A and B are shown apart, each in its own frame.
Chain A
Amino acid sequence: MGAVAGHSDEVVSITQARVGATGGALRWSLGLGVLGLLATAVFYFAGGPSQHATVLAGYLVAFVYWLGIAVTATIWNAIFHASAAKWMVVLRRVLEGIGASLPVFVLLFLPILLGMSTLFPWARPSSAMSAEELELLTHKAPYLNVPWFLIRAAIYFAVWLLVSDRLRRWSLKQDEVGGLEPTRHMRRLGAGSLPFLALTITFAGFDWLMSVDPFWISTIFGVYYFAGSFLSCMSLVAVVIALNQGNTTGLGGAVTRHHLYNVGKLMLAFTAFWTYCAFSQFMLIWIANIPEEAAWYVVRMKGGWAGVGIFLIVANFFIPFFTLLSRELKFRPRALAVVALWLMGVHYVDIYWLIMPALFPAGAQPHLAHLAALVGVGGVAVATALWRAKGHFAIPVKDPNLSYSLRYTQA
């Protein structure tokens, strides 16, 4: 950690560092990713039709898990631009880097398109459904139909790719030409894109997560998905900081304990935000106790899933919240990274708990393919991010607020 960034010679050494030595990490993540995806495919094709649902659902969980982190990295970045935040300039490349993995998710989305009829009951109304359920699906058909689903997916990806790419491109351009023009562009787009980013991730949550159970609705569901992803994204930033600690000429040399402290505070705040969203959704449905709403929670509170729900309350709120209350912990990169990895792990369980009960109401049926898909999608996404970061500066070297950010201290 660069304790004194004020010395001119140290600033020079920091600003000359480009991301280059990621060769090992890039190879490893790409190797693991390809291996994971291949293993998932093998499980799908070798397992026979009986395995299709569980493998595909596991893939969907992994996909929305990593995609949420990549999209919310762009949202964090847009928010920081919109609020003209100066402290986080040294961390901006990390957010831009995570967001730069988004293009690969277009490819990774294909298996979900191909498996639509297995994953989403509305895509294959069957005679096994009750008359009431079929009536509900007919009622929802103007929204939940295949062509419109595809168009919406295209819109989501278009918005995400456009915003993340523009923000990143202007930022990289500033590294070369300097000046205030890129900053002005980034701030304008950052602020202007927020409503679109918010709507697209909300509706993506509806489409790809909530509609695995098309008979249930919750208006806050998109926010719930966003909240967990947003928290995991900031946790990933904490992990990246910890991994870069030894790298004193790059990110590790620029990020101080004061930046880390802010990252920890944001993790604490969004732990509470996740809980707030989760409880808001649960409480209204629980207290109204209307069958068509409550059914979703009944599945998740009875039988094999009850334990998972309780685990989420304890593991995603009580443990991280009271751990992150400690000020000293938020100054220590390794300790914060441990909490961050914990939160990212629990977020996976959270997504799993949202999707899987729709297909397996009796309880969780862990499958090796679920792990393979998690590693596969994650590995490929990380590899994409590292590959695209290669050769660029680890911090925005000509940002007008960089010197402020390097010297940033807590009052």
Chain B
Amino acid sequence: MSTGTAPQGRTYVLGQFPTGAALVKACRQVREKGFTDVDTHSPYPLHGGDEALGLKRSVVPKVALAGALTGMFGGMAMMVWMNGINWPMNVGGRPPISPLSYIPITFETTVLLTSLSIFFGLLIMMRLPQPYHAVFELEAFRSAVTDGFWLSVAQAPGSDGKEAVRELESVGATQVSVVKESLE
């Protein structure tokens, strides 16, 4: 009997909805019922989706600003050091440290580090790359990348998800499935 309680994965209840608007509405209703770990999956961003999920304002802008400031000051400092201090050069009679002529490169390094920090910041925040997620267990869920609007409700490990199934059906899901997260 007691072969040890093998750690169990979480239970996910997945419901499909006919339209994006229905998904957003259902998401709001499900969260109002007290389900906390809810997520929406749709082929494109849904208007009002953030509010329905109760998401706080993203920190991406702050990450971007940090990248921008690093790129700006870093780019300027790089050129001041290289052209002005490490290897002073007379270009067209300008002084070795000539900030005005550094501005185009400073602009470029600002844009570069901004975009890189957004790209890698997003990867980290979204925990990507993610080769496995419980929702992949359901074949029908693949439609989330083409024309399906899905709501997933995560339940504690071992849960049968019955309560969430009933809830999703009551808010208009066209099909509801329960999948278990595999820990292998």
Render A313-341 as a binary contact track against B, CB cut-off 8 A, 1 for contact.
Answer: 00000000000010100000000000000
B49 near A287: Cβ-Cβ < 8 Å: no
Asked if B85 is an interface residue, CB under 8 A from chain A, the answer is: no
The interface on chain B, measured as residues whose beta carbon lies within 8 A of the other chain's beta carbons, has a size of: 16
B47 near A287: Cβ-Cβ < 8 Å: no
User: A407's closest neighbor in chain B, by CB?
Assistant: B47
The interface on chain A, measured as residues whose beta carbon lies within 8 A of the other chain's beta carbons, has a size of: 10
Asked if B48 is an interface residue, CB under 8 A from chain A, the answer is: yes
Provide the bound-state CA to CA distance between A365 and B65, in Å: 41
Asked if A411 is an interface residue, CB under 8 A from chain B, the answer is: yes
B residues less than 8 Å from A410 (CB atoms): 47
Asked if B129 is an interface residue, CB under 8 A from chain A, the answer is: no
A409 near B47: Cβ-Cβ < 8 Å: yes
Nearest chain A CB to B52 CB, angstrom units: 12
A411 near B104: Cβ-Cβ < 8 Å: no
User: B65's closest neighbor in chain A, by CB?
Assistant: A325
Provide the bound-state CA to CA distance between A194 and B164, in Å: 55
A residues less than 8 Å from B48 (CB atoms): 409
Provide the bound-state CA to CA distance between A344 and B89, in Å: 42
Residue among A283, A325, A409, A411 making CB contact with B103, cutoff 8 Å: A283
A411 near B100: Cβ-Cβ < 8 Å: no
B residues less than 8 Å from A325 (CB atoms): 65
A286 near B47: Cβ-Cβ < 8 Å: no
A residues less than 8 Å from B65 (CB atoms): 325
B residues less than 8 Å from A327 (CB atoms): 57, 61
B46 near A279: Cβ-Cβ < 8 Å: no
Provide the bound-state CA to CA distance between A327 and B62, in Å: 12
B residues less than 8 Å from A286 (CB atoms): 100
Render B139-179 as a binary contact track against A, CB cut-off 8 A, 1 for contact.
Answer: 00000000000000000000000000000000000000000
Nearest chain A CB to B107 CB, angstrom units: 9
User: B57's closest neighbor in chain A, by CB?
Assistant: A327
Asked if A16 is an interface residue, CB under 8 A from chain B, the answer is: no
Provide the bound-state CA to CA distance between A411 and B94, in Å: 49
Nearest chain A CB to B165 CB, angstrom units: 30
B49 near A283: Cβ-Cβ < 8 Å: no
Provide the bound-state CA to CA distance between A325 and B61, in Å: 10
A residues less than 8 Å from B57 (CB atoms): 327
A-B pairs, 3 with minimum CB distance = A411-B45, A409-B47, A411-B47
Interface residues of B (CB under 8 A from A): 45-50, 57, 61, 65, 92-94, 100-101, 103-104
A-B contact pairs, 22 of them (CB 8 A): A279-B103, A283-B100, A283-B101, A283-B103, A283-B104, A286-B100, A287-B92, A287-B94, A287-B101, A289-B92, A289-B93, A325-B65, A327-B57, A327-B61, A409-B47, A409-B48, A410-B47, A411-B45, A411-B46, A411-B47, A411-B49, A411-B50
Given contacts A410-B47, A411-B49, 19 further A-B contacts (CB under 8 A): A279-B103, A283-B101, A283-B103, A283-B104, A286-B100, A287-B92, A287-B94, A287-B101, A289-B92, A289-B93, A325-B65, A327-B57, A327-B61, A409-B47, A409-B48, A411-B45, A411-B46, A411-B47, A411-B50
